[in-house]
Amino acid sequence: MDTRRKNRYNKIMAITEESYKDLKEYWDFQRTREYNWEKLCEVCTNVESNFAFTNGKTGDELRDTLWNKIDQSEFEKPPRDWVPQDKKYRLWNEGEPKPLKIKFKAVKTIQAWQHWTDML
């Protein structure tokens, strides 16, 4: 189970310029990982607010399950203007983060019984 939670680390300082230059690959990977975590959280929040879980699970369980199934090779690179929510992963020269803008595809909603009767 991933132990990340909102506001867990907000007292930690940003990445210094010196540290970033010395450990560029490490910090780039950590920031990429954080971007993907934030993106997953946003998607799961959207799912949780638009759908009811009938199996007794919660959005947090969905988030943890999906996060543990994502391979590092599938991580998306963050856009240049992205600023992490977690101050621990912000660069020395970055300001406050903006909300992530994730585009969701519009999906036609139909009743399940309609779909099956149309197929017969």
For 59-99, how does the pLDDT look when each residue is reduced to its tens digit (9 = 90+)? 788 899 999 999 999 999 999 999 999 999 999 888 888 87
- pLDDT above 50: residue 101: yes
CA distance 55 to 61: 11
Q: What is the 3-state secondary structure (H, E, C) of 30-91?
A: HHHHHHHHHHHHHHHHHHHHHCCCCCCCCHHHHHHHHHHHCCHHHCCCCCCCCCCCCHHHCE
- pLDDT above 80: residue 21: yes
pLDDT for position 2? 52
- If one counts every other C-beta atom within 10 angstroms of the C-beta of residue 44, the result is 20
CA distance 99 to 120: 45
Q: Is the pTM of this model over 0.85?
A: no
Tokens of 120: 């017969």
Among 45-49, 105-109, 115-119, which stretch is predicted with the lowest mean pLDDT?
115-119
Residue 106 φ then ψ, to 5°: -70, 130
